[in-house]
Structure 1
């Protein structure tokens, strides 16, 4: 934990909590990724399923943009019985603030739509941390002790509103909590850490075609398994790297 709490956040005003999944269709590296199928299931559908497994009560909301381009995300969420908020494409901080206001939330758990293997236990853990101590943000991101694609933040609405008033840079507003991490002395940060060394550098996020191939492998291992934990996803991701490293080595040897 670091920084000084400035914004009157207490455990009591975190509720109601909203699990807000940020997603949009356009991506320079992997176009349409939010609805790309991974082992037959759309990525956004996988994220929604993971969030539904959390043992914490809260509204699940997909926060997408107000562009026609993202209408398929809205249709997909509607079909899944998930509420939707539509807002600015580039001002993601503004989208988060308005979503919290419109749904009358006390806080949001910010979830990335490109994290199909997010462990529901992490959602439970970050909310439990919020119930134990007062802070401006609860997070597992600084110092990264969890895999890419397992990021989680619990952010009180009061802090989002304060950020909305403070942050003017377009690059900072594109990333909801960047200003907090860049100005840590102004905020009380409560951090969830992992001591597991095998998490280091593992990618569970889906942002490139290589990530998508890895995700297909992981899903083929986990789907139908009784264990879909973060540990199981990490083990599958490591196995993918080992297998593909062997394939690359064989290909290189063959070219010689």
Structure 2
């Protein structure tokens, strides 16, 4: 079974323009992402999808595979689908281009259910929330799953609502997606739905159309870079790791 990872990477970011090219301890962010993704055991191929010539040229310079896509896409999923259209892969993995600390094992964990069960069309990850600040943060997307580990709902609000003090567990969603190729193409053609628009969460379109999303719990975390503060945090982590290795 052929499994291909596609990393959407756009230059125009509202909060941090040009972030795929930002330097992190001697390497651009997108190179960190690419090299980590390449270490996954379940992937046959890794492609960066971009609409910017600067990113395209950079990826070629470090030996990565890159595809130029339309500048008209509104979402990373649309960019993903354009590349997937020309591939013969069975499974497509969507990995964010602003995750320079992503652990390859997370990718493998998300892929495995689709390798084991042909009926699963889409999968993703969740991580146990241990900090109250994350629980109350609308930028941290929460997910609840059923007893078979399929998503019931994703929200920026606290779910389930803690009406009484309890030992309930809360999970944040990690935005790594795995699709059957045919389902990805079908999903990209679906109209946006009401809940998707209200929460600004694209994955709700899948649930609103009656499809299931497998949710795998992982012990690993990553840090998405959306702001200058995120970038500095990642730089310090990478620098400390390099210093430890060098010593």
TM-score scaled to structure 1, two decimals?
Answer: 0.68
Q: Give the helix-richer structure, 1 or 2.
A: 1
Normalized per residue, the structure richer in strand is 2
Specify which of 97, 100, 125 is matched with residue 140 of structure 1.
Answer: 125
Structure 1 residue 160 corresponds to structure 2 residue 184: yes
Matches of 1:146 and 1:44, distance apart in 2 = 27
* Aligned-partner SS, 1:63: strand
Structure 1 residue runs of 5 or longer lacking an equivalent are 1-14, 227-256
Superposed, 1:1-256 pairs within 5 Å as 15-65=1-51, 70-89=52-71, 90-92=73-75, 93-133=77-117, 134-141=119-126, 143=143, 151-167=175-191, 177-181=203-207, 183=208, 186-194=210-218, 204-223=223-242, 225=244
Partner Cα distance (1:146, 1:52) in 2:
27
C-alpha contact (below 8 Å) 2:206/2:212 kept by paired residues = no
Residue 128 of structure 1 deviates from its aligned partner by 1.6
Separation in structure 2 between the aligned mates of residue 188 and residue 27 of structure 1, nearest angstrom: 30
Residues 77 and 130 of structure 1, relative CA distance in 2, 3 Å threshold: same
- Helix, strand or coil for the counterpart of 1:121? helix
TM-score, normalised via structure 2 length: 0.70
**Distance in 2, Cα, partners of 1:25 & 1:217:** 23
Structure 1's 64 and 224: CA in aligned 2 closer, same or farther, altered over 3 A?
Answer: same
Q: Residue in 2 aligned with 1:7?
A: none
* Consecutive unaligned residues in structure 2, runs of 5 or more: 127-141, 145-169
Query: Which has the greater radius of gyration?
Result: 1
CA distance in 1, matches of 2:11, 2:106: 25
**RMSD of Structure 2 on Structure 1 (CA):** 2.7
Tell me, in whole angstroms, the C-alpha distance in 1 between the residues paired with 2:172 and 2:224.
8
TM-superposed CA distance for 1:223, in Å, is 2.5
Over 3 Å counting, the alpha-carbon distance change for 1:28 and 1:57 in structure 2 is closer
Q: How many residues were matched structurally?
A: 198
Tell me how far 1:155 sits from its aligned partner. 0.9
